[in-house]
Amino acid sequence: MRNRHLSALFAKHAHIDARLRAEVIRPNPDFTVVSRLKKEKLRIKEDISGIK
């Protein structure tokens, strides 16, 4: 169960990272979205660290 949760968090982290990279390379990035994605990515990273 723990491994499944950890795998889901890693997948979510990777998905958010991809969305963040896509937003940043846009010609006119929305920095509100960038900030929100960075915060969400950090929260997930902290969750992952707490489980390990």
Rounded Cα distance, 50 and 52, in Å: 6
Q: Are 19 and 37 in contact (CB under 8 A)?
A: yes
Q: Which pLDDT belongs to residue 51?
A: 84
Q: What is the pLDDT of residues 1-52, one digit of tens each?
A: 688 999 999 999 999 999 999 999 999 999 999 999 999 999 999 999 988 7
What is the domain range of residue 14? 2-51
Q: Are 39 and 16 in contact (CB under 8 A)?
A: no
Q: What is this structure's pTM?
A: 0.85
Q: Are 41 and 17 in contact (CB under 8 A)?
A: yes
C-alpha distances in Å from residue 20, one per residue of 25, 29, 36, 40: 9, 10, 9, 10
Q: Which pLDDT belongs to residue 2?
A: 83
How many domains are there within the chain?
A: 1
